[in-house]
């Protein structure tokens, strides 16, 4: 019976081993399955990652493809908007009316007793202008009867000369004789600005009356003279002024035309400059009938007063070109008229340069308005030096105006 027991034991052992093997096999399969699941999960995750990258790349490519289309649309819209081209080149001036006729207005030193009386008697247009003047003195009596000594005092000279100029300008306008450009010598510059439409007649008279008082105040206590030097070059006159400074102050106040320059300053220095220039070949010197050292540093107080006055004054835009004394050139856009007039009263008058500007611009007919013919003389000399042929007229009296009306160029 023992052998059977052994067989059963062996059989049980075999069954136990088989069960163990089966268990190990099942465990291996389980572990393999877990590993496979792990690998599958990793693969799926990698696949998702790749898909995300692919989607992002596709989106970027889509944007890049779409951008040129959007840019083209924007460019088209911009082209539809008018954008002015910018240029670094100097802006060209707009064409202006040709300058053919120029009015020239006389300054201090040319005043005369009786000026304007015949115009007042004959022309209503003259009376309409001058009768509105409100001055603290009897200007009608002073202009028609004098005395010349009083009329020559700057506080009287300036408003009276301006009244005469404004009245004559009104009569010329009535006759349809109009300027294409204007210019004046010193005080005459104010009448030129009036003729150009920069301010009205009331402003002209009020302003020149104020200027006269300011200049008279600045000249008080000074012993000064003005002298026109004939037959010398400007550099010779400037040299003389420098050479006699030990005698006092003297300078060139007016550059009128080639061969005629006005010096002004302390009497001893002016006399010394005249003597110096005589030795250099000066033709002659003519003392001027003025009452102060105009257009010199002595007029600085008047300049200060004018500057303050101009702060409350609105200047209009000139309707015709105006050549300015302070610059010797046409008034330019952006330039301040008040500043130029403030400078003018206390510095040299560049009238010769003003005349040259008009001659270079092609002006052919010039009408001097005011007593005397000094400006006509300056103009003729300047035109001759430049080789220009011009027509020069003057209006001081009614007779002058009647002669002017007969000229073919002014016949309507």
Q: What is the pLDDT of residues 122-146, one digit of tens each?
A: 999 999 999 989 999 999 999 999 9
Q: How confident is the model at residue 6 (pLDDT cuts 50, 70, 90)?
A: very low
Q: What is the pLDDT of residues 62-86, one digit of tens each?
A: 544 444 445 555 455 545 555 444 4
For residue 323, the domain's CATH number is: 3.40.366.10
Q: What is the pLDDT of residues 348-405, one digit of tens each?
A: 999 999 999 999 999 999 999 999 999 999 999 999 999 999 999 999 999 999 999 9
**Judgement on whether residues 176 and 199 belong to the same structural domain of the protein:** yes
**Judgement on whether residues 245 and 356 belong to the same structural domain of the protein:** no
Q: Is residue 300 part of a domain?
A: yes
Q: Is residue 11 part of a domain?
A: no
**Judgement on whether residues 373 and 350 belong to the same structural domain of the protein:** yes
Interstrand relation of 181-184 and 101-105 (parallel, antiparallel or unpaired): parallel
Q: How confident is the model at residue 56 (pLDDT cuts 50, 70, 90)?
A: low
**What is the number of structural domains in the chain?**
2
**Judgement on whether residues 169 and 317 belong to the same structural domain of the protein:** yes
Q: What is the pLDDT of residue 41?
A: 61
**Judgement on whether residues 187 and 301 belong to the same structural domain of the protein:** yes
pTM for this predicted structure: 0.76
**Judgement on whether residues 247 and 394 belong to the same structural domain of the protein:** no
Please confirm, yes or no, whether 186 is among the known catalytic residues.
yes
**Judgement on whether residues 396 and 346 belong to the same structural domain of the protein:** yes
Select which of 186, 291, 347, 348 is catalytic: 186
Domain carrying residue 403 = 101-222+292-410
Q: What is the pLDDT of residue 304?
A: 97
Task: Say whether pLDDT at 8 is over 50.
Answer: no
Q: What is the pLDDT of residues 178-198, one digit of tens each?
A: 999 999 999 999 999 999 999
Please confirm, yes or no, whether 295 is among the known catalytic residues.
yes
Task: Say whether pLDDT at 149 is over 80.
Answer: yes
Last-in-domain residue among 267, 291, 315: 291
Select which of 152, 291, 295, 347 is catalytic: 295
């Amino acid at each position: 019976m023992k052998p059977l027991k052994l067989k059963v034991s062996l059989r049980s052992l075999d069954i136990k081993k088989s069960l163990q093997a089966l268990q190990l096999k099942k465990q291996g399969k389980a572990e393999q399955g877990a590993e496979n699941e792990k690998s599958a999960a990793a693969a799926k995750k990698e696949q998702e990652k790749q898909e995300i990258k692919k989607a992002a790349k596709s989106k970027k490519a889509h944007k890049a493809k779409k951008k040129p289309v959007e840019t083209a649309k924007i460019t088209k819209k911009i082209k539809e908007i008018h954008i002015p081209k910018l240029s670094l080149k100097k802006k060209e001036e707009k064409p202006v009316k040709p300058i053919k006729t120029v009015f020239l207005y006389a300054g201090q030193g040319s005043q005369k007793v009786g000026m304007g009386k015949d115009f007042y008697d004959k022309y209503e247009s003259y009376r309409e202008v001058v009768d509105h003047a409100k001055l603290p003195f009897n200007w009608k009596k002073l202009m028609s009867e004098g005395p010349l000594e009083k009329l020559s005092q700057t506080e009287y000279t300036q408003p009276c000369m301006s009244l005469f100029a404004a009245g004559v300008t009104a009569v010329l306008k009535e006759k349809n004789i109009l300027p294409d450009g204007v210019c004046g010598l010193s005080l005459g510059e104010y009448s030129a600005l009036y003729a150009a439409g920069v301010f009205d007649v009331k402003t002209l008279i009020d302003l020149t009356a104020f200027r006269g008082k300011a200049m008279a105040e600045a000249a008080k206590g000074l012993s000064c003279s003005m002298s026109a030097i004939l037959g010398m070059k400007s550099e010779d006159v400037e040299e003389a002024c420098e050479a006699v400074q030990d005698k006092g102050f003297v300078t060139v106040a007016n550059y009128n035309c080639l061969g005629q320059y006005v010096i002004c300053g302390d009497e001893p220095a002016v006399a010394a400059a005249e003597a110096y220039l005589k030795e250099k070949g000066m033709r002659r010197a003519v003392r001027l009938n003025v009452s102060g050292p105009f257009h010199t540093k002595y007029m600085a107080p008047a300049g200060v007063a004018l500057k303050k006055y101009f702060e409350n004054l609105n200047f209009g835009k000139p309707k015709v070109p105006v050549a300015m004394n302070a610059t010797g050139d046409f008034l330019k856009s952006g330039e301040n008229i008040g500043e130029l007039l403030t400078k003018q009263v206390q510095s040299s008058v560049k009238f010769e340069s003003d005349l040259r500007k008009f001659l270079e611009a092609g002006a052919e007919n010039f009408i001097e308005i005011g007593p005397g013919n000094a400006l006509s003389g300056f103009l003729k000399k300047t035109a001759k030096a430049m080789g220009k042929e011009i027509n020069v007229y003057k209006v001081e009296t009614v007779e002058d105006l009647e002669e002017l009306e007969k000229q073919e160029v002014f016949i309507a």
